[in-house]
């Protein structure tokens, strides 16, 4: 008896479904990492994760491969997969590259920013000014969203993808020294000044302001990281 052959459309559908499952699992684990549920250095238990998501080891391992490619985890023979730790020196290097991407985003957006985009950024800076001293976590979220919006508003998918990848890596460093309560008003004003430059269509000025803003964060990170003792890669 002949075994029925799977048609090309069915094969394509199976491939899409498999890829979608792998990506959904990878995104779920990424959320666990960036949300702090899986701390830097922690081992990823394949059996527990497979049971949690109700999947076999195959899709899980493909999801882990995706996360390794993104830099969030590392896999070693006989040691399994671990959430990466970012050393102080690597975090500084990431800041350098991200500062350049911030500057590029400012220059590009200043040339094409729309009234609706300006309104969105103004609303965000207004919300930052309303933050109270004890709402550090809220300011942290607004700060990330502000810079992500600027990058996303450029409409440049390559810039956006690279920027977001580096932002996720810096999240592993988990040193939010720049968000000390007393510094919140200062950062809110820096953000407002950046929006002024974007509104004036001042590309070079916006690029310079965003670059300096990022480099200021790098210097504070280095200062506080050295005082606290920086993590080392494992």
The whole-model pTM stands at 0.80
User: Looking at 37, 58, 83, which one is the last position of a domain?
Assistant: 83
Residue 51 lies in a domain: yes
pLDDT of residue 171: 86
Is 170 within 8 Å of 91 (Cβ atoms)? yes
Q: What is the pLDDT of residue 173?
A: 81
Residue 2 lies in a domain: no
128 and 13, same domain (yes or no): no
pLDDT at 177 over 60: no
- pLDDT digit string (tens) for 17-51? 556 888 999 999 999 998 889 989 999 999 999 99
Q: Are residues 103 and 214 in the same domain?
A: yes
User: Are the C-beta atoms of residues 174 and 63 closer than 8 Å to each other?
Assistant: no
The angle that helices 88-112 and 136-153 make with each other, rounded to 10 degrees, is 50
Do residues 159 and 45 both lie within one domain?
A: no
Q: What average pLDDT does the structure give for the chain?
A: 85
Residue 13 belongs to a domain:
yes
* CATH code, domain carrying 107: 1.20.120.530
Q: Evaluate if residue 8 carries a pLDDT over 60.
A: no
Q: What is the mean pLDDT of residues 178-184?
A: 62
Q: What CATH number should be reported for the domain holding residue 15?
A: 1.10.10.10
Instruction: Locate all alpha helices (DSSP H) within 35-174, ordered by sequence.
Output: 46-53, 57-70, 88-112, 115-129, 136-153, 157-173
For residues 120 and 67, membership in a common domain is answered with no
Residue numbers of the domain that contains 221 = 88-228
Structural domain includes residue 109:
yes
Q: What is the pLDDT of residues 89-113, one digit of tens each?
A: 999 999 999 999 999 999 999 999 9
Q: Are residues 74 and 128 in the same domain?
A: no
Q: Do 223 and 142 share a structural domain?
A: yes
pLDDT at 222 (0 to 100): 86
Residue after which a domain boundary falls, among 60, 83, 106: 83
Confidence of residue 186 (pLDDT cuts 50, 70, 90): confident
User: What's the number of domains the chain is made of?
Assistant: 2
Q: Does 77 share its domain with 101?
A: no
Residue 181: what pLDDT? 61
| 200 and 154 within one domain | yes
42 is a domain residue: yes
Distance CA 155, CA 29 (A): 28
Query: 76 and 94, same structural domain?
Result: no
Whether 55 and 112 share a structural domain: no
Q: Are residues 37 and 131 in the same domain?
A: no
Within this chain, do residues 101 and 184 fall inside the same structural domain, yes or no? Answer: yes
**Residue-wise pLDDT tens digits, 137-171:** 888 889 999 999 999 999 999 999 999 999 999 88
Instruction: Using the predicted structure, report yes or no on whether residue 227 has a pLDDT greater than 60.
Output: no
């Amino acid at each position: 008896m002949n075994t029925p052959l799977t048609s090309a459309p069915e094969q394509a559908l199976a491939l899409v479904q498999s890829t979608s499952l792998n990506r959904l699992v990878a995104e779920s684990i990424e959320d666990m990492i960036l949300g702090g549920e899986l701390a830097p250095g922690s081992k990823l238990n394949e059996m527990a994760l497979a049971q949690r998501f109700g999947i076999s080891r195959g899709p899980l391992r493909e999801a882990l491969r995706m996360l390794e490619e993104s830099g969030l985890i590392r896999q070693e023979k006989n040691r399994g997969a671990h959430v990466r730790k970012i050393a102080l020196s690597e975090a500084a290097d990431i800041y350098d590259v991200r500062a350049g991407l911030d500057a590029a985003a400012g220059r590009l957006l200043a040339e094409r920013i729309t009234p609706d985009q300006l309104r969105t950024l103004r609303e965000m800076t207004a919300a930052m000014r309303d933050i109270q001293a004890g709402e550090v976590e809220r300011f942290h979220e607004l700060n990330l969203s502000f810079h992500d919006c600027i990058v996303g508003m450029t409409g440049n998918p390559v810039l956006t993808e690279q920027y977001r990848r580096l932002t996720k890596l810096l999240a592993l460093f988990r040193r939010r020294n720049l968000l000390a309560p007393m510094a919140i008003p200062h950062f809110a004003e820096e953000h407002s000044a950046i929006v002024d430059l974007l509104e004036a269509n001042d590309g070079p000025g916006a690029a310079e302001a965003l670059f300096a803003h990022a480099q200021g964060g790098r210097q504070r990170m280095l200062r506080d990281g050295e005082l606290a003792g920086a993590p080392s890669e494992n």
